[in-house]
Structure 1
Amino acid sequence: MRRWISVLLLLAACGTETSSENTIPLKEKVEKTPLHLEYAGSRTGGSQIQMHFLVSHTDETLIHPEDYVYQWPEYIQDSEGIAYRIADADYSYDMLGDTALEPWEAGVTLTIKPPPEKVEDVVFTIPFHTVPKRYEEGYLFRVERDNPSIQNGDMAVQNLDIEEQSLSFRLDDAHPDADSRTGYMVTLLKDGERVFPVSRRVNRSSRSTSFELMFAEPFNEQETLLIDRMSGDLPEWRFSLTVSPDSGG
């Protein structure tokens, strides 16, 4: 009798462990500074389900409708491999559902057909990518004396040092096509006009470029640095979300 009790306890323990291992972890938010996107809930009605996503800028800079171009798949799958069609993708800049949006926020609503039979049992995998059109004119960095590292999209300004009229830093570029041959134009932006350095020294490596720049006038407490990548297309940021329509919001 004791042997059977031991076997039953062992089977029960194994069953509990398997259930835990089969649980699919959710990934409801993704980020590429300053872009942040997270799942914000769903609404089911009739022959469709609408899934809402909140887009924001982590630095609270204004989001323009033309800043990002999103590409969603035609179909997504649930954890059982069942396909659902993305019938529409709608973008909003004033309201997301019943929630008013801030100037640095935007909303994305995906209309999915047909709705799952049991929303509480479904987990969707949603791959997508976006092209950051906001960088067509270059990458902006607010440089300050007490902030030596600044990230913006694929670029990061590191080891920033400001002295009188000179500016030095290391530029790390995560663009897949960036290498030691990639050229950059670095200027200050004042009153909408580019201010070019009077002299510059550049040291290149495979993934980073060091700059020593001298300008005609001393720096203010805060300046805006504009960096243009002189070759290559805009990057494509690829993401994947794993969300349950029964969660979020």
Structure 2
Amino acid sequence: MKKNVELKNATVQVNNGFDELKTILDHVTLDIYEGDFLTILGGNGAGKSTLFNVIAGTLMLTSGSISIMGEDVTHLPAEKRAKYLARVFQDPKMGTAPRMTVAENLLVAKYRGQRRGLVSRKIHAHRDEFQSLIEKIGNGIEKHLDTPTGLLSGGQRQALSLLMATIKRPELLLLDEHTAALDPKTSLSLMNLTDQFVTGDKLTALMITHHMEDALKYGNRLIVMKDGQIIQDLAADEKAEMTITDYYSIFE
């Protein structure tokens, strides 16, 4: 099976301000295969966001290595890794440009990673395609193709961020607690949409979640992190046998 991402002994140490080194990612070795949908659980400070940041290149490793699609990207900055990755953040405001319309945001996402010269945007050529895309979402956004994104609800903006992240198929989709800022009903509908996108298009995805129920329900692998280390890596069949009580016991 093809490996999309490979981390070997990935370690990050930071100075805690008292001239002491603190290890926030501790010799993590992880293989992510094509089509994997990994859910990641862990308490605050477990290393979940650090793991995402070292994969995305916004935080460099102190030691160890990381490859994406067979390329060693250990020393490559985030912009050089952008051709492989798409990320949806916790804050609905982070994934979209508020003054640009829904259609304009989608056009930018469609050409992500490509060189763009000073040519006219030709947005009209993509209108039908973008309209049919937003109709898949079904949360009212289908009436807002020409609306500035800043005027949308949080749930609509997150759904648009997800659409933008997947419009050009990424080698790895990073879902960084992307439902955490939403109310329970909106969160549920966004998770259903996420699962439809990831499993339907056989995307490779990592999802950080604080919801035990989501960790149980979604994905084919579950990673549990604690103190900067992976303490559990459960396959789909092992995950299926676990209850929420079992999950709580892992953290005790």
Normalising to structure 2: TM-score of the pair?
0.27
Q: Which has the larger radius of gyration?
A: 1
> Which of 1 and 2 has higher RCO (CA within 8 Å, sep 6+)?
2
Higher helix share: 2
Normalising to structure 1: TM-score of the pair?
0.27
